[in-house]
Amino acid sequence: MRGGRATFDRDGAAYPSGLYDTAQVAEPVEHLEDVGEAELERCRRDGFLPVSRALSPETVRDAVAGLEDLARPNSPADVQYEAWAETLLDTLTPGQRLDVTRKFMSFTAHESRLTAIANDPGILDVVARVLGGAPRMFQDMALLKPPGGGREKPWHQDNAFFHLVPGTPIVGVWVALDAATEDNGCMRVIRGSHRDGPVRHVHLRDLQICDGNVPIDRGVAVPLPPGGLMFFDGLLQHGTPSNDTTTRRRALQFHYTVDEVTSTSAEEYAAVFGMADGDEC
């Protein structure tokens, strides 16, 4: 089988102290079955909705095993490793490779245990009710923040990465496979920021919102146990600090819309997200 693309992350740098300090912590609903009309309205108002017990421990274990299988040399998925692991990679077992991997992409065609989560009926039911139509997944990722060196993902809006026609409805689902804590890099979000619309992004430590333009005073930390997840709008401002602990913070992420996605022109994209070569904060 032809392997996917393997790269090393060359971005990342020190970021300002306090950039992810949030005074609020999200209150999740417990089960997917608890998501009723009031919870859907909360999701639409806040731009996100956490659920603490969405997947069973067995499903979580299967997902981690699936990622370990994808971590083999010549993986069929696209894999990005942490830059500091480049000289170590050839000496590591697949299990050890997970602890130097930043992300996997495009794996649902190759790993049935992860595909089953992307197609989980309970998850899709909530996504469909948020979108107002039958969901279609157009992106799959696994976001691994390895212990002792998993780097920051700066504040951003996911729609800034997609280059889609403005107004395309997008719902993301972020699934915790380990305990995602405030110390090891759980999600931080800006409550209600999706209603502010698209904001300017630049290439600094990554494609990101300028640090000084993030309304941290509205920030909320979203810690989750293994098997917990968060539904969120594609325009929600969010980010995660680096993982400098000895614990793992592995997660899956899927993005859904209701129709075939259509790309936009570079000019239209720049008009919406304000990014151009040479932009600075």
Q: Look at the chain and report how many structural domains it folds into.
A: 1
**In this model, does residue 2 exceed pLDDT 60?**
no
Cα 199 to its chain centre, rounded Å, is: 18
- Here the CATH number for the domain that contains residue 221 is 2.60.120.620
Domain assignment present for residue 58? The answer is yes
Distance in angstroms (rounded) separating the CA atoms of residues 225 and 223: 7
Domain assignment present for residue 266? The answer is yes
Domain assignment present for residue 92? The answer is yes
Domain assignment present for residue 6? The answer is no
pLDDT in tens, 215-267: 999 999 999 999 999 999 999 999 999 999 999 999 999 999 998 778 888 88
pLDDT cut 90: percent of the chain above it: 77
Q: Residue 255: give the domain boundaries.
A: 26-273
Give the residue, 11 or 178, on which the prediction is more confident.
178
- Residues forming a β-bridge with 209: 201
Domain assignment present for residue 10? The answer is no
- The answer to whether 221 touches 26, Cβ cutoff 8 Å, is yes
Domain assignment present for residue 243? The answer is yes
pLDDT in tens, 118-149: 999 999 999 999 999 999 999 999 999 999 88
Determine how many CB atoms are found less than 10 A away from the CB of residue 31: 12
Domain assignment present for residue 47? The answer is yes
pLDDT for the residue 84: 84
**In this model, does residue 193 exceed pLDDT 70?**
yes
Domain assignment present for residue 185? The answer is yes
User: Pick from 150, 156, 206: which is nearest to 180 by CA?
Assistant: 150
Distance in angstroms (rounded) separating the CA atoms of residues 193 and 222: 15
